Structure 1
Amino acid sequence: MVHYSAILLGSFGLSTAMAQSYKIAKSYVGQGFADDFDFYTKDDPTGGYVNYLSRADATSKGLLSYDSSTFTMAVDAQNVASGRGRDSVRISSKDRFNDGIYILDLAHMPVGCGTWPAYWTTTEHHWPNGGEIDILEGANGLPAENSTAWSATANLKSPSSGFPPNADTSSLHTRPGCSLVSSTQTGMIKTTSCDSKINNNAGCGIQYSNATTASIGLQLNQQNGGWYAMWRDVQGSGGIYMWFWARNDATVPQEVKDGSFAGDISAASWGVPAANFTIPDCKKDFNDHVIVFNIALCGDYTAASYSAAGCPGSCASFVLGNPLAFADAYFKLNALRVFTANGQIASKAGPEGLATGALAGIIVAAVIVVLGVIGAFLWRLRRKRRAAATARALAPRAMNDLSTSSVVSTTDSDKDEGGYPVGVLLPGETPTRSKAPGARDPRRGSASANTKKGSKASKKGYAAAATNESGHRAKQNVPAAPANPAFAFSNNQTKDKFRPGWAV
């Protein structure tokens, strides 16, 4: 077990919280990424020109590979694109996580004009409720000069100042009302409002310092990647903190560097974070998240910097017709480890591990079930009471029937006993008629009345009642009831409502 003494980080002021130890909850290495992540195959929700593949299709097309220590997911770099876009991969974890420490050992990230790679966590439903955390996100990163991808990217222009960046920008996206509080970090705050509904969903962003090392793009790949660590402590200290160490950084903590380390861990010795998202008033804005890796092509975020990065023509036309330009558009992951306070994933931790929104959903569901049981009980009770009342009302009528002849009369005493309308048969009664042909059935009224009723029935589309020679009603053919009108849901009614956030 590893323990670290708390240290004071200037105005960071989180020494006690940072000393908290976390236990390993999940480790993804090699095939574990393929087995424990779901493959997203729907249309790109950000309007990109990309075709996300299933695991089987990605494997058969050579866009997915793994061994005992690495996992690689890539963009198609062989074929001209068609349909909804160039083939790519997007995966999300089958398990959900909440507060804890997340450590990614990244060897290579996708680069190339039109690419939009991201490593992020997000709520599964009703975004932006539940929040989104973008840890690593880039767009239009240029490949190395004279590489295959570079040579296939013809007509490159000189990029604008600062493009493409070599420093990562992490960001949060929430519902309205969440903003950053000034805090200590080595990075620079770019935007303070996390509200996804303003500023074109830019969210609140912090750009890492690039004074000593690159944390994104080509230069990151040239130094064989590095480690990204996130300490999510929203329900504790009210913050989310991120660190980055390059592969050749001598100060990287051993428990971060060692991808097989599964002991207790804390952030106490990691120093001032690269990004400090202090959000004490936003605790209800983050619930259980899935972890996502994806390589989008074009789309909202990519379009914003496509020309500034010096990329040629339009994004969609470039992505469509230049397959070799995506030779370096791939993620190569060494390991991803998640540590939580109790060593459990949120989706299996029970009520203690669920966010407020999830607990509310459970409570609402329980209330609905209870109300349903109560409603069913009251309905059955009402039916029993009605049956008992009917039995009490029929009792005098039954006694009277036992004492009279088989010919039913309509005397005043008979009307008073039951109060039932003429022509209604009670349970167990048999229709009786006068033996004389055409004689009046005392329970059905006059023949003329029957004729009028028959005429009305004919007007409604039913055959008039026919009688045989004895005056009895012949068997009547009743038409079948008309079929229920056909109906169907519209596309809008059945449309999937899930809309992920910015880094999709």
Structure 2
Amino acid sequence: MPTMISMAARAILLCALTGISNAAYVLEEDFENTAAFFDHFEFFTEPDPTHGFVEYIDQAAAEAAGLVKVNDNSIYMGVDSTTVVTEGGRQSVRLTSKNIYNHGLVIIDLTHMPGNVCGLWPAFWMVGPDWAAGGEVDIIEGVSLLDYNAVALHTTTGCTINDEGFTGEVQTTDCYISAPGQDNNVGCGIKIPNPQSYGDGFNDAGGGVYATEWTATGFKTWFFGHDVVPADIAAGNPDPSSWPTPDAAFAGDCNFERHFWDMQIVFDTTFCGDWAGNEDVWADSGNCATLAPTCQEYVGNNPAEFEKAYWEIVSLKVYQDSNTTHPAMKGSYPFSSRSRVIRHALP
């Protein structure tokens, strides 16, 4: 018996030293697909930190305008698609979770995300306090006619990732927002080349599931079409160790405990701004520059183009490793002063 105990102890130590995950995930927070969904969030109404041509409105105004609602057992979050706008910006919503997280598994099931429209910039992401000190992970993000999902991290200096352990394509490896040799605020990014992972391709395929695992050693993300979602996700007992190679994995020379902490979940749909509205990006965004000389002019004058600029959420759940000591916490940190410059550079 003593020998067996010693062997078990050595096995546990080996797992700890090699970073092997033996997480047993339990449900921590279920954002129900009812009106209670919005009770988990604050509606952000300050000027867009990314300088978008947008007016973020509060919950009462959004409900009155039909921009947020429960629709056939799913959550709808859209934008104004009827008004010609000459100043201020097109109305939209930006939601920030009331809870704060440290580690965990975030799984979102969507039947629709904002599609490919010139000037559009939607994102589903997580962010810590005192940006970029607390870190940022972009789970779903893109602009205009981009036909793939761009997953990225943004940090302070001293965090780089390896080009291995995932199926996506590395675009940049230094997560520092001011990294030498990279455009300002690009961070470290991985392209998900699957055309069904973002925008119109995602919607035409009937949506899918995104899972993001955050541990002490980094982040991993998976995209699953609805026809290939692992059975353990549907059963409510997710086991990332049994899933295929992740689409994106961020690990390397980085103290993730120092760079990512107290993060909140964010949904937003903005227009133009520092990425989609950048002159070079607008000029290179397919045929967008032929439709209007500037992003803002196009967005303001073509409201009907944004009818499909909505999120339709079937479920959003946060799981916690039962062995961790980092539960979600109530409260929120202000980060309205956070300003992102050119987010990414289109290829």
Fold equivalence (TM over 0.5): yes
**Aligned equivalent of 2:27, options 12, 24, 27:** 24
Distance in structure 1 (CA, Å) of the matches to 2:330 and 2:66: 34
Q: Give the paired residue count.
A: 311
Task: Summarize the alignment of residues 80-95 of structure 1 with structure 2, pairs less than 5 Å apart.
Answer: 80-95=84-99
Where does residue 187 of structure 2 map in the other structure? 203
Structure number having the greater strand percentage: 2
**Aligned equivalent of 1:227, options 183, 202, 209:** 209
Q: Give the match's secondary structure for 2:144.
A: coil
Structure 2 spans left out of the alignment, 5+ residues? 1-16
Give the deviation of 1:276 after TM superposition. 1.1
Where does residue 54 of structure 2 map in the other structure? 50
Check whether the contact 2:172–2:189 (CA below 8 A) recurs between aligned residues. yes
Structure 1 spans left out of the alignment, 5+ residues? 1-13, 142-163, 350-357, 359-494
Q: Give the match's secondary structure for 2:329.
A: helix
Where does residue 307 of structure 1 map in the other structure? 283
Where does residue 77 of structure 2 map in the other structure? 73
Q: Give the match's secondary structure for 2:197.
A: coil
The question of 1:174 aligning with 2:160 is answered: no
Q: Give the match's secondary structure for 1:180.
A: coil
1:108 to 1:497, Cα distance in 2 relative to 1, 3 A: closer
Task: Summarize the alignment of residues 93-492 of structure 1 with structure 2, pairs less than 5 Å apart.
Answer: 93-111=97-115, 112-123=117-128, 125-141=129-145, 164-165=146-147, 167-198=148-179, 199-210=183-194, 214-233=196-215, 235=216, 238-249=217-228, 252-256=229-233, 258=234, 261-263=235-237, 265-283=238-256, 284-304=258-278, 305-308=281-284, 309-311=286-288, 312-313=291-292, 314-342=294-322, 345-347=327-329
Give the deviation of 1:18 after TM superposition. 3.3
Where does residue 372 of structure 1 map in the other structure? none
- What amino acid sits opposite 1:272 in the alignment? T
Check whether the contact 2:277–2:296 (CA below 8 A) recurs between aligned residues. no
Distance in structure 2 (CA, Å) of the matches to 1:324 and 1:15: 53
Greater CA drift, 296-305 or 34-43: 296-305
Give the deviation of 1:128 after TM superposition. 0.3
What percent of counterpart residues are identical? 34
Check whether the contact 1:97–1:290 (CA below 8 A) recurs between aligned residues. yes
1:36 to 1:497, Cα distance in 2 relative to 1, 3 A: closer
- What amino acid sits opposite 1:18 in the alignment? S
Structure number having the greater helix percentage: 1
1:69 to 1:497, Cα distance in 2 relative to 1, 3 A: closer
1:496 to 1:171, Cα distance in 2 relative to 1, 3 A: closer
Check whether the contact 1:227–1:245 (CA below 8 A) recurs between aligned residues. yes
Give the deviation of 1:177 after TM superposition. 1.4
Distance in structure 2 (CA, Å) of the matches to 1:110 and 1:307: 21
Deviation track 1:176-212 (CA, whole Å, cap 9, x = no partner) reads 11111232211111100101124220110011132xx
Check whether the contact 1:77–1:324 (CA below 8 A) recurs between aligned residues. yes
Distance in structure 2 (CA, Å) of the matches to 1:20 and 1:224: 30
TM-score (norm 2): 0.84
- What amino acid sits opposite 2:328 in the alignment? A
Distance in structure 1 (CA, Å) of the matches to 2:335 and 2:126: 20
- What amino acid sits opposite 2:53 in the alignment? Y
Check whether the contact 1:77–1:326 (CA below 8 A) recurs between aligned residues. yes
Distance in structure 1 (CA, Å) of the matches to 2:18 and 2:315: 28
Q: Give the match's secondary structure for 2:276.
A: helix
- What amino acid sits opposite 1:273 in the alignment? P
- What amino acid sits opposite 2:89 in the alignment? G
Give the deviation of 1:246 after TM superposition. 1.2
Where does residue 8 of structure 2 map in the other structure? none
Check whether the contact 1:122–1:291 (CA below 8 A) recurs between aligned residues. yes
Give the deviation of 1:98 after TM superposition. 1.3
- Higher Rg of the two aligned structures: 1
Where does residue 45 of structure 2 map in the other structure? 41
Where does residue 370 of structure 1 map in the other structure? none
Check whether the contact 1:173–1:501 (CA below 8 A) recurs between aligned residues. no
Q: Give the match's secondary structure for 2:49.
A: coil
1:496 to 1:179, Cα distance in 2 relative to 1, 3 A: closer
Give the deviation of 1:67 after TM superposition. 4.4
Distance in structure 1 (CA, Å) of the matches to 2:94 and 2:219: 24
Deviation track 1:357-393 (CA, whole Å, cap 9, x = no partner) reads x9xxxxxxxxxxxxxxxxxxxxxxxxxxxxxxxxxxx
- What amino acid sits opposite 2:218 in the alignment? G
Q: Give the match's secondary structure for 1:306.
A: helix
User: Which structure exhibits the higher relative contact order, with contacts defined as CA atoms closer than 8 Å and separated by 6 or more residues?
Assistant: 2
Q: Give the match's secondary structure for 1:179.
A: coil
- What amino acid sits opposite 1:306 in the alignment? W
Distance in structure 1 (CA, Å) of the matches to 2:196 and 2:220: 19
1:500 to 1:337, Cα distance in 2 relative to 1, 3 A: farther
Check whether the contact 1:128–1:500 (CA below 8 A) recurs between aligned residues. no
